Every structure is written in C-alpha cells, then in structure tokens.
Amino acid sequence: MQGNSRVPSSAQSDVHEHLATVVARHASAPFRKPYADYNRAAFATSFARYQRLAPGAPLILDAGCGVGESSVALATAYPTHYVIGVDQSAARLQRGQRGEHRRGESHESHDGQHAGPANVDLVRADLVDYWRLLLDAGVRLDRHYLLYPNPWPKIGHLRRRWHGHPVFPALLALGGVLECRSNWPIYIAEHCLAVQQLTGRAAVLEPFVPAQPMTPFERKYLDSGHQLFRTVTDLT
Ligand SMILES: C[S@@+](CC[C@H](N)C(=O)[O-])C[C@H]1O[C@@H](n2cnc3c(N)ncnc32)[C@H](O)[C@@H]1O
C-alpha cells in the first residue's frame, strides 16, 4: 500500500539555534506547574493497578502511545515486565481498546476470548504531569519509549518538542533505556544533544528500518516511503 504522509516540512534546516540555552534553562529551574486533578487520579489508579497486578515487575512506559498498539507489542515482547501506555487522547485510546487489546484487569474479555496480554494498561493522562508523578512516587523505569512524538516543526515551537519542554529533565530522571523514534531527523538530533547536555551520556542518531511496524504512525510513514530515525540511550 502506498501512503501519502509527508515528512515534516520546516524552515528549520538544522538543530535549533536556541536548543542548548533552552535546555540549560529548564535544567536550572524546577518546573512547578501544578498537577491537574484528572492526572493525579489517573496516576493513582494506574499506579495502584501496577502494584496490585505486578508488584516489583520492571516497568516500561510507552509515552504518547496513541491507540496502544506499541504498548501491546511491548507487553508481548517483555512478558515479565509491566507496560503502561499513556496518551492524552481518549479517542485514540478508545479506538485501541475496541481493537485487539483492552484496559486492565483480567486476561479474558467478557465473552471469554483471549483479549491481549495481562501486563499492559492504557491510561488517559497528560504526560507533562504523569512523568512528574511517576518521579515523585520514586519510580524508575526499565524501558521508556517516545515513538513518533508530535514533531512541532515550526521554528517557534521548540518548547513544544519534548526535549525543549520544561518537563524534559524529569523525563530523563526516570532513567531506563530511552528510545525515541521520528521521521524528522532534526527532532532526533535535537533529542540526542539535549540528552547529552543533561546526562553526559552519548546519544547517537541512527537511521533504521523496523522488521515490522510497531505503531500506526510507523506503518503510515513506511507506507509513504519515509526514512525513519531513532536513538536509544541507556540512562540506568
Ligand atoms: C504522532 S502521535 C504518535 C502515536 C503513537 N506513538 C504512534 O506512533 O502511532 C503522538 C501522540 O502523542 C500524544 N500526545 C501528545 N502530547 C501529549 C501529552 N502531553 N500527553 C499525553 N499524550 C500526548 C498524542 O495524543 C498522540 O497520540
């Protein structure tokens, strides 16, 4: 199938000239945006479920999971881990839940059919709060995925990209093996520089071709003939 998705077009042809300054500013001042009640509630419920269903299991966070296809794939690939997929879009999560996987508790759906792995939970929340609530609770991740985050390619939108956002230091402090994928290489190049700046760890941009698409966006980009890029950094 031929897709018709476009690579992000931007007047920005290289790493943003203010990236290092913005990252340094966010590292030097605590980010104190108050938590929204619905995020506190979503965090409390999902964290209690994790502690009840898989106490002590290493945790994988699929940040911006969309319909949760990647969360289910990760839960299948890492059966002794517990996977939390977080997305702010109720519509996307519901679309996913109507598909092959479901939220939460039992290993069987109401009609008794196998309904997906038991070690995955899909949560509606804003990551800007959810990441900080995880950190406040003392959680450290085993693996952490940012799969095709919104690129915000306009020059003026640097602070909306995760590495340009004030939450980025908290995201990194959660540790684990952090993987970010995009079809816009500048996003990954910036992510790598921000990771290096804040952690001192080398982060390398690499082109890659997945054996199988792991998310709907990955599938759409591959069908459209895009080159894909990623970086994987061990923050443990
Ligand atoms: C481009 S989509 C990628 C979805 C999925 N990872 C994929 O590859 O198919 C980006 C996702 O990030 C989610 N997102 C963006 N900002 C968010 C935030 N602050 N909190 C939670 N989810 C967010 C969007 O709702 C959207 O589902």
Q: Which CATH number belongs to the domain containing residue 58 in this structure? A: 3.40.50.150
pLDDT in tens, 87-134: 999 999 988 887 744 334 333 333 333 356 999 999 999 999 999 999
- Does residue 198 sit within a domain? yes
What mean pLDDT value characterizes the chain? 91
Please give the distance, rounded to the nearest whole angstrom, from the Cα atom of residue 111 to the centre of ligand 1: 31
Residue 165: pLDDT band with limits 50, 70, 90:
very high
- From 62, 88, 95, the mutation candidate for ligand 1 (largest count of ligand atoms within 8 A of CB) is 88
Burial of 153 (0-12, 13-18, 19+ CB in 10 A): middle
- Does residue 197 sit within a domain? yes
Residue 5: pLDDT band with limits 50, 70, 90:
confident
- Does residue 3 sit within a domain? no
Report the nearest-CA residue for atom 3 of ligand 1. 148
Average pLDDT over residues 54-62: 97
Question: pTM of the predicted model, to two decimals?
Answer: 0.92
pLDDT in tens, 30-40: 899 999 999 99
- From 72, 148, 161, the mutation candidate for ligand 1 (largest count of ligand atoms within 8 A of CB) is 148
How far, in Å, CA of 151 to CA of 132, rounded? 22
User: Residue 106: its pLDDT value, please?
Assistant: 38
Q: Is 87 in the pocket of ligand 1 (CB under 6 A)?
A: yes
How far, in Å, CA of 85 to CA of 38, rounded? 16
Count of the separate structural domains present in the chain: 1
How do 177-182 and 59-63 pair as beta strands? unpaired
- Its domain, for residue 177, covers 19-29+36-106+113-234
Q: Is 89 in the pocket of ligand 1 (CB under 6 A)?
A: yes
